[in-house]
């Protein structure tokens, strides 16, 4: 696909003033209207017939040009939210920070946004708000399509496709950057990162997803601006971490997050433990992300609970060991550590309870899976979180933890028939019964979930 693009984009005007629009007409680019989702096409058509400007825009145009399957199709238009709503039977206005219109079709929702401007001089106070550090908190100033292009994050994300006449409108030399495989922020990088620190993560995410290089002016201020991520609301930062780790290029993204010091502000408790590049923590996290990427590749289910369980496990384990040294029983130490570590992470990325509960179960089962003699193994196998906990044992072993062959035992147990399973469990029971020194129990009962 890229060769095809190169062939198309050999125009003289390719390096003109980025404010000047370059229009690539039908035949000058590899897109065609049939590549566009039918419903998005219809939305553009209805808007254009009503006299508005309308384009398919953003990630889908980028992905189609690169030969990737777009996740969704977004539409941008000169029509105001109220005007959009009037044109469609099933449409509703949502959002406060950005007002957008959702047009409902039988198969899906098409997101329609009105062209917005990023020029604060003309903005009334009610429409555009900024914090002292320059961060935008509200942004509903409508503008022209050119202004809409320049308020977008990356040049590769600011291409406007008109399926009506099959033309691409490029205001920021985005097509050249796609062709050259470059991630470049639009406008002054430092200012744009200050306006919205999430753009730091988006730069890393798209560089990893597309395999593109980060252009040097874009890259230069990134480390310095990383700490601004602390100003992003914890629920939004949680959502962004899902996109970072659950979209198929988690390992590459993670390595960029480390390189640009962004990870320090995503899981601050873990970050110092990753300084030892040969250590178990970085191996565990990397392997968890490799496995996540592989599962996505194979269309298998992935859950944020497993990823976050891995991201926080080294921290939980270290703290739990401290509590054990102070005399707590292993289950009590683990439970107390888990509660504390989660409680510290929530103000950074607000992990919802539907994920923290299974995370704690995966961690708890790390102890239970060891005590597998007698009837226990059979019962554990039926635990709803068994599979995740077993995968977690394998992950720990893969990253260099010595669990005395626990993963192998459970692999064999699952494959064995009922009779052999009983034998295996009895054998373990015999060793578990053997009296050991210091078997005296210490510590109280586990604490209740502090986050519940
Ligand atoms: P994906 O494949 O992940 O959906 P996308 O590029 O479509 O990628 P979205 O998050 O869906 O990303 O956003 C749609 C478009 O909105 C982007 O392509 C970009 O033009 C613009 N955009 C999104 N987030 C920001 C931001 N934080 N700052 C500026 N523009 C943004
Ligand atoms: Mg999108």
Q: Report pLDDT for 140.
A: 67
Closest CA to 118 of 144, 140, 142, 151: 151
Instruction: Indicate which ligand has the atom closest to the C-alpha of 246.
Output: 1
Q: How confident is the model at residue 4 (pLDDT cuts 50, 70, 90)?
A: very low
| Rounded percentage of the chain residues whose pLDDT exceeds 90 | 73
* Ligand 1 and 340: CB distance under 6 A: no
Mean pLDDT highest for which of 14-28, 59-73, 430-444?
59-73
Q: Report pLDDT for 449.
A: 47
Mean pLDDT of the chain, nearest integer: 89
Q: Out of 45, 72, 180, 391, which one is annotated catalytic? A: 72
* Ligand 1 and 291: CB distance under 6 A: no
Q: How confident is the model at residue 448 (pLDDT cuts 50, 70, 90)?
A: very low
Closest CA to 47 of 74, 91, 82, 77: 77
Q: How far is the CA of 225 from the centre of ligand 2 (A)?
A: 25
Specify the pTM.
0.88
Q: Report pLDDT for 28.
A: 94
pLDDT over 70 (residue 391): yes
Mean pLDDT of the region 123-149: 72
CB 232 within 8 A of CB 198: yes
Q: How far is the CA of 377 from the centre of ligand 1 (A)?
A: 48
Domains of the chain: 1-8+18-180 (3.30.460.10), 286-432 (1.10.3090.10)
pLDDT over 60 (residue 436): no
Q: Report pLDDT for 259.
A: 97
pLDDT over 80 (residue 136): no
Mean pLDDT of the region 313-337: 97
Q: Report pLDDT for 139.
A: 63
Residue nearest to atom 15 of ligand 1 (CA): 58
Q: Report pLDDT for 6.
A: 44
* Ligand 1 and 371: CB distance under 6 A: no
The DSSP output letter for 125 is T
CA distances in angstroms from 443 to 319, 328, 336, 361, listed in the order given: 15, 4, 11, 20
Mean pLDDT of the region 408-421: 85
Q: How confident is the model at residue 121 (pLDDT cuts 50, 70, 90)?
A: very low
CB 334 within 8 A of CB 316: yes
Mean pLDDT of the region 56-66: 96
The helix (run of H) or strand (run of E) holding residue 9 is none
* Ligand 1 and 197: CB distance under 6 A: no
pLDDT over 80 (residue 125): no
Give the residue, 112 or 433, on which the prediction is more confident.
112
Q: Out of 39, 63, 74, 176, which one is annotated catalytic? A: 74
| Rounded percentage of the chain residues whose pLDDT exceeds 70 | 86
Q: What is the 3-state secondary structure (H, E, C) of 371-422?
A: CCCCCHHHHHHCCCCHHHHHHHHHHHHHCCCCCCCHHHHHHHHHHCCHHHHH
* Ligand 1 and 157: CB distance under 6 A: yes
CB contact burial 361-384 (16+ within 10 A = b; e otherwise): bbbbbbbbbbebbbebbeebeebe
pLDDT over 50 (residue 64): yes
**CB-based contacts of 291, cutoff 8 Å, min separation 6:** 391, 395
Mean pLDDT of the region 338-347: 98
* Ligand 1 and 169: CB distance under 6 A: no
CB contact burial 254-276 (16+ within 10 A = b; e otherwise): bebbbebbbbbbbbebbbebbee
Q: What is the pLDDT of residues 253-303, one digit of tens each?
A: 999 999 999 999 999 999 999 999 999 999 999 999 999 999 999 999 999
Whole-number Å distance between alpha carbons of 74 and 233: 25
Q: How far is the CA of 199 from the centre of ligand 1 (A)?
A: 9
Question: Which of 56, 58, 60, 243 has most ligand 1 atoms within 8 Å of CB, for mutation?
Answer: 58
Q: Report pLDDT for 19.
A: 61
Q: What is the pLDDT of residues 68-80, one digit of tens each?
A: 999 999 999 999 9
72 in catalytic set: yes
* Ligand 1 and 153: CB distance under 6 A: yes
Question: What residues have their beta carbon closer than 5 A to ion ligand 2?
Answer: 59, 72
Residue reference for tokens 């054998």? 427
Q: Report pLDDT for 48.
A: 98
Q: Report pLDDT for 330.
A: 95
Q: Report pLDDT for 418.
A: 83
Residue reference for tokens 């919802």? 352
Q: What is the pLDDT of residues 10-44, one digit of tens each?
A: 444 333 344 689 999 999 999 999 999 999 999 99
* Ligand 1 and 195: CB distance under 6 A: no
153 in catalytic set: yes
Q: Report pLDDT for 130.
A: 66
Q: What is the pLDDT of residues 137-176, one digit of tens each?
A: 556 689 999 999 999 999 999 999 999 999 999 999 999 9
Q: Out of 39, 63, 139, 153, which one is annotated catalytic? A: 153
Q: Collapse the DSSP code of 84 into the 3-class scheme (helix H, G, I; strand E, B; otherwise coil) and give the result.
A: helix
CA-angle at 248, arms to 246 and 249, nearest 5°: 105
């Amino acid at each position: 696909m890229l060769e095809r693009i190169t062939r198309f984009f050999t125009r003289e005007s390719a390096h003109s003033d980025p404010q000047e629009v370059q229009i690539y007409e039908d035949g000058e680019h590899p897109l065609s209207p049939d590549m566009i989702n039918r419903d998005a096409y219809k939305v553009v058509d209805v808007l254009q017939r009503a006299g508005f400007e309308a384009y398919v825009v953003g990630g889908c145009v980028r992905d189609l040009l690169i030969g990737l399957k777009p996740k969704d199709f977004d539409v941008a238009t000169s029509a105001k939210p109220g005007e959009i709503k009037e044109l469609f039977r099933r449409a509703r206005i949502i959002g406060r920070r950005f007002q957008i219109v959702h047009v409902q079709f039988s198969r899906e929702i098409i997101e329609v946004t009105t062209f917005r401007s990023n020029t604060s001089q003309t903005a009334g106070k009610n429409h555009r708000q900024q914090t002292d550090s320059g961060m935008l908190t509200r942004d509903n100033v409508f503008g022209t399509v050119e202004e809409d292009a320049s308020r977008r994050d990356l040049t590769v994300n600011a291409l406007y496709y008109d399926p009506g006449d099959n033309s691409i409108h490029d205001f920021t030399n985005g097509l050249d950057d796609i062709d050259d495989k470059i991630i470049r922020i639009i406008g002054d990088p430092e200012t744009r990162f200050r306006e919205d620190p999430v753009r730091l993560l988006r730069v890393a995410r798209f560089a990893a997803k597309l395999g593109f290089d980060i252009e040097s002016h874009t890259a230069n201020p990134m480390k310095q601006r990383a700490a601004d991520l602390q100003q992003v609301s914890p629920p939004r930062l949680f959502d962004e971490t899902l996109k970072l780790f659950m979209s198929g290029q988690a390992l590459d993204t993670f390595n960029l997050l480390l390189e640009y010091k962004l990870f320090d502000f995503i899981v601050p408790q873990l970050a110092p433990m990753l300084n030892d590049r040969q250590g178990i923590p970085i191996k565990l996290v990397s392997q968890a992300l490799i496995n996540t990427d592989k599962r996505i590749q194979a269309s298998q289910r992935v859950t944020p609970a497993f990823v976050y369980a891995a991201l926080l496990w080294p921290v939980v384990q270290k703290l739990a060991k401290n509590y054990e040294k102070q005399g707590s029983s292993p289950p009590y130490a683990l439970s107390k550590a888990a509660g504390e570590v989660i409680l510290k992470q929530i103000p950074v990325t607000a992990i919802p309870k539907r994920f923290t509960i299974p995370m704690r179960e995966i961690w708890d089962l790390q102890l239970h899976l060891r005590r597998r003699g007698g009837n226990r193994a059979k019962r554990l196998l039926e635990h709803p979180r068994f599979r995740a906990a077993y995968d977690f044992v394998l992950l720990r072993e893969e990253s260099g933890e010595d669990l005395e062959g626990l993963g192998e035992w459970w692999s064999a147990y699952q494959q064995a028939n009922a009779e052999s399973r009983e034998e295996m469990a009895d054998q373990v029971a015999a060793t578990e019964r053997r009296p050991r020194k210091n078997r005296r129990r210490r510590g109280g009962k586990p604490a209740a979930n502090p986050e519940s």
